[in-house]
Structure 1
Amino acid sequence: MPDRAEIRLAEYGTVRLGAEQLTARDVERLRSLQASGRLTLDEAPSGWRLKADATVGVLVLDRVRLVIVPKFAVRGDRLMSWLSYALGAPAPLPATARRWATGPEGYADLVAAALLERCEQLVREGLRRDYVRRDSVEPVLRGRLDFNAQVSRRYGQLDQLYVRTFDRETDVWDNRVLGTALRAAQRLATQPDLVRDLASVAGAFPRAATSEAALRALDRTRYTPLNTRYRAAHTWARLVLRGGGVTDLLADRGTTADGLLLPMPALWEAVVRRLAVDATAPLGGHAVSGGGATGITVRGDLGNASAFRPDVLLGLPGRESAPRALLPIDAKYKRYDRHGVGAADVHQLLTYGAGYASGADPRAVIVHPSPGGMAHRVLRIDGPRGTLGSVHVIGVDTEVTPQEAAARMGKLPAWSAR
């Protein structure tokens, strides 16, 4: 494989590429990513202009390796704890913490190392085996004789027997998806030791015919006492296999791309959904569905009815005999620790507050990342006839553990009953 030039750009950043740096297949792959909102590719007089959106990670193309680094990243020694927290996967073991420092490789090596750790643990414990049907021709009887095949193909001769056996083997889907993901991770990782370890462990796992087949198997997987220990490894495998390269949509045309691209707004929403529940659980808070009868719906416009759904809708206990209060929370992957809240976000949160408030002063919450310290301020929106509502703006310190951040959030006055 020829050496690829590494091109680095920041999240939301722009880079110019020469016409010779992208092949026709690369352009097709990048156009597919543009259609999914991951990046923007425009023609320039001497080549191409590539702009990253709110996406970070690695994309391996034919001639270049794109590394998109976050504008305000979680520190390397904290990154895996936050990513594990968002995915609901176990955090790395202390014995392997040396693997979790971010380097020039960014997120790709981190996720590959997380997958490696869980697969190594499965190998140590012993891979799951299940009965697998095999049809074969044997000189002696094993399993059951396939009478139809014996009569139609051997015409009664018994020197070769068509048999059907059921043996306990590791060649089951729980293991195949991990073998496929380990081999995909090898192509993304750059640290020589990590690549070597991935290759070594991959030899213990069977693999699926294609990545798409492995993903379909993951989508069908249901966990029981027999395979529940695979859940964490499957979480990391899903992230590697769905890593942001071109997916099933173009697979039939042979268009594939090795990549691990993380959409940061979606990742932050997953963090906030869990963080809000953990922060308010000691106060009696719990998540409430924001759809159905509890949703905010717009009707009467052209086309179908639309809906407003906050990222998190919390149910909080009211004072004394007061009913439980509903508090809408929206995750914003923005630097609201450095600049004011935009008018569009204020309008959105006012709508949430008006839709779910039970008192005279509707309120809603914005949660944004705030590296370096927890922050809290309150926006009060007034009109000519009085207060329209309030928006609590909470900055979460991403330089501490998620558990510590949740504990700090729980002490804020934003959750107090009205």
Structure 2
Amino acid sequence: MPDRTPVRLGEYESAALEPGQLTPRDVDRLHALQARGCLTLVPDRVGWRLKADATVGVLVLDRIRLVVAPKFAIPGEQLMSWLAYALGTPVPAAARRWATGPDGYADLVAAALLEECERLLREGLRRDYVRRRSIEPVLRGRLDVVAQATRRYGQLDQLHVRTFDRESDIWDNRVLGSALKAALGLTSSPDLARALHGTAGAFPQATTPAAALRALDRTHYTRLNARYRPAHTWARLLLRGGGVTDLLSDHGTAADGLLLPMPALWEAVVRRLGTEAVSPYGGHAIPGGSGVGITVHGDLGNASTFRPDLLLSAPGHDLAHRTLFPVDAKYKRYDRHGVSAADVHQLLTYSSGYASSDAPAAVIVHPQPGGHAQRTLQVRGPEGLLGVIHVLGVDTRATPEQATAWMGSVLR
């Protein structure tokens, strides 16, 4: 791999690039990522100005290696803990090593995959029955009579056979071999690269990363392969190129990278936080936001539909009725400035559509490093109270378990 100039930024920071640091292919790839809201690339007087948005991680281009570190909401040393929480997978021991490496996030995800793959090797890789066709000097399995007659013309010096043996060359293992190979192109640590290379040799590989992703999408977990779930979670993250959603899946942009869209991560965190916070008090999340959501008809084009990030159902004062709380995740600095008018309008719509008419309420959850916070907005009109918006700031320097307990005490 050729040496690439490292360019390091924080979230929402920018850097100047010389004209020779970006190839035409790099410019095309960065513009494609810009169209998806990951970063901003504009020409300036001496070259280019590259600005990071709410996306962190590593992007390996032809001449530079771009590293965007989390800065605004989730501290670097906590990022892996919150990511593992959002993905519903155990926190890897590698999460404690964030401060030791300059390339943090990408190296840690690769180390998390490596950790799980090494565990699987110690326990023994899963094997399953695989059908094979081969040519053998002695009979194994069943003789392929048609192949023997048409290819060997009845000669018996070599036998065309069909076997059905237990092997480790199955999709559960192939996707991990492909992910380990993908991680090699992202890490900058020689020791980690050496360990990844050594472990990858013990796993079979899929023909292409796309084939591995399709196999992951088809995977169903049973007692036979349940122990593979954490390793597959990190493999999926590496093979897709980032995130807890498909935001950065390949749509024709060929660039090696591991990019994590922070708003998508925060939405996943809030969904799990809210669900776990109300469950001890008899509450639960309503899957899919209660059916069709809020729809708008009669405008030009198709009808539009929108729904909150999370809809919670909690016991009401009357045991026969339940209270609905629409919850929206906002990846914004609402610890430093007031809630925008657009978000107030959005939450009022949610409370009107889902909450009870006598107590319309909605919840905003935003990240707030350094301490939990709560405030209540009362929206009034000429005829009285229109709705109540609870603004909750979750301390991202705390553990997810502490945040869940605090959020539960507030929502109760």
Q: For residue 398 of structure 1, give the secondary structure of its aligned residue in structure 2.
A: coil
- Contact 1:298–1:307 (CA under 8 A) maintained in structure 2: yes
Q: Tell me if 1:364 matches 2:362.
A: yes
Alpha-carbon spacing, 1:3–1:303, altered in 2? closer, same or farther (3 Å)? same
Q: For residue 8 of structure 2, give the secondary structure of its aligned residue in structure 1.
A: strand
C-alpha deviation, 1:288, in angstroms: 1.0
Aligned to 2:5: 5
In structure 1, how many angstroms separate the alpha carbons of the residues matched to 2:319 and 2:250?
Answer: 54
C-alpha deviation, 1:293, in angstroms: 4.5
Alpha-carbon spacing, 1:294–1:315, altered in 2? closer, same or farther (3 Å)? farther
Listed one character per residue, the Cα deviations across residues 360-399 of structure 1 (whole Å, up to 9, x for unaligned) are 2311000000111000000111111111111100000111
Summarize the alignment of residues 153-192 of structure 1 with structure 2, pairs less than 5 Å apart.
153-192=151-190
- The letter of the residue matching 2:88 is G
Aligned to 1:32: 32
Aligned to 1:91: 91
- Contact 2:74–2:367 (CA under 8 A) maintained in structure 1: no
* Root-mean-square deviation over aligned CA pairs: 1.8
In structure 2, how many angstroms separate the alpha carbons of the residues matched to 1:75 and 1:39?
Answer: 20
Which one of the candidate residues 237, 245, 256 is aligned to 1:258? 256
Aligned to 1:333: 331
Q: For residue 91 of structure 1, give the secondary structure of its aligned residue in structure 2.
A: coil
- Greater displacement, 32-41 / 347-356: 32-41
- Contact 1:290–1:310 (CA under 8 A) maintained in structure 2: no
Q: For residue 249 of structure 1, give the secondary structure of its aligned residue in structure 2.
A: coil
Aligned to 2:316: 318
Which one of the candidate residues 344, 362, 385 is aligned to 2:383? 385
Counting matched residue pairs gives 408
- The letter of the residue matching 1:11 is E
- Contact 1:328–1:353 (CA under 8 A) maintained in structure 2: yes
In structure 2, how many angstroms separate the alpha carbons of the residues matched to 1:248 and 1:289?
Answer: 28
Listed one character per residue, the Cα deviations across residues 344-369 of structure 1 (whole Å, up to 9, x for unaligned) are 11110011111112142311000000
Aligned to 1:61: 61
Which one of the candidate residues 386, 404, 407 is aligned to 2:405? 407
In structure 2, how many angstroms separate the alpha carbons of the residues matched to 1:263 and 1:204?
Answer: 32
Q: For residue 188 of structure 1, give the secondary structure of its aligned residue in structure 2.
A: coil
Q: For residue 161 of structure 2, give the secondary structure of its aligned residue in structure 1.
A: strand
Listed one character per residue, the Cα deviations across residues 154-179 of structure 1 (whole Å, up to 9, x for unaligned) are 11111111111222111111111101
- Contact 1:361–1:388 (CA under 8 A) maintained in structure 2: no
Alpha-carbon spacing, 1:28–1:128, altered in 2? closer, same or farther (3 Å)? same
C-alpha deviation, 1:69, in angstroms: 1.6
TM-score, normalization: structure 2? 0.94
- Contact 1:212–1:248 (CA under 8 A) maintained in structure 2: no
- The letter of the residue matching 2:208 is T
- The letter of the residue matching 1:296 is I
Listed one character per residue, the Cα deviations across residues 123-168 of structure 1 (whole Å, up to 9, x for unaligned) are 1110011122222212211111111111111111111111112221
Q: For residue 256 of structure 1, give the secondary structure of its aligned residue in structure 2.
A: coil
Listed one character per residue, the Cα deviations across residues 211-262 of structure 1 (whole Å, up to 9, x for unaligned) are 1111111111111222111111100001111114975432xxxx62211100
Aligned to 1:15: 15
Summarize the alignment of residues 19-418 of structure 1 with structure 2, pairs less than 5 Å apart.
19-93=19-93, 98-101=96-99, 103-244=101-242, 247-250=249-252, 256-291=254-289, 293=291, 295-321=293-319, 323-412=321-410, 415-416=411-412
- Contact 1:8–1:68 (CA under 8 A) maintained in structure 2: yes
- Contact 1:100–1:113 (CA under 8 A) maintained in structure 2: no
- Contact 2:134–2:162 (CA under 8 A) maintained in structure 1: yes
C-alpha deviation, 1:294, in angstroms: 6.0
Query: Which sections of structure 1, spanning at least 5 residues, go unmatched?
Result: none
Alpha-carbon spacing, 1:247–1:408, altered in 2? closer, same or farther (3 Å)? closer
- Contact 1:129–1:168 (CA under 8 A) maintained in structure 2: yes
In structure 2, how many angstroms separate the alpha carbons of the residues matched to 1:280 and 1:247?
Answer: 33
- Contact 1:265–1:333 (CA under 8 A) maintained in structure 2: yes
In structure 2, how many angstroms separate the alpha carbons of the residues matched to 1:365 and 1:176?
Answer: 43
Q: For residue 236 of structure 2, give the secondary structure of its aligned residue in structure 1.
A: helix
Alpha-carbon spacing, 1:320–1:73, altered in 2? closer, same or farther (3 Å)? closer
C-alpha deviation, 1:277, in angstroms: 1.0
The percentage of counterpart residues that share the same residue type is 69
In structure 2, how many angstroms separate the alpha carbons of the residues matched to 1:308 and 1:98?
Answer: 39
C-alpha deviation, 1:34, in angstroms: 2.2
C-alpha deviation, 1:333, in angstroms: 0.6
Alpha-carbon spacing, 1:374–1:403, altered in 2? closer, same or farther (3 Å)? same
TM-score, normalization: structure 1? 0.93
In structure 2, how many angstroms separate the alpha carbons of the residues matched to 1:136 and 1:361?
Answer: 72
Alpha-carbon spacing, 1:60–1:97, altered in 2? closer, same or farther (3 Å)? closer
- The letter of the residue matching 1:202 is A
In structure 2, how many angstroms separate the alpha carbons of the residues matched to 1:288 and 1:346?
Answer: 23
In structure 2, how many angstroms separate the alpha carbons of the residues matched to 1:331 and 1:246?
Answer: 20
C-alpha deviation, 1:323, in angstroms: 1.2
- The letter of the residue matching 1:15 is A
Alpha-carbon spacing, 1:249–1:65, altered in 2? closer, same or farther (3 Å)? same
Q: For residue 271 of structure 1, give the secondary structure of its aligned residue in structure 2.
A: helix
In structure 2, how many angstroms separate the alpha carbons of the residues matched to 1:291 and 1:328?
Answer: 8
C-alpha deviation, 1:110, in angstroms: 1.3
In structure 1, how many angstroms separate the alpha carbons of the residues matched to 2:195 and 2:13?
Answer: 33
In structure 2, how many angstroms separate the alpha carbons of the residues matched to 1:52 and 1:382?
Answer: 38
- The letter of the residue matching 2:150 is S
- Contact 2:289–2:309 (CA under 8 A) maintained in structure 1: no
Q: For residue 411 of structure 1, give the secondary structure of its aligned residue in structure 2.
A: helix
Alpha-carbon spacing, 1:53–1:97, altered in 2? closer, same or farther (3 Å)? closer
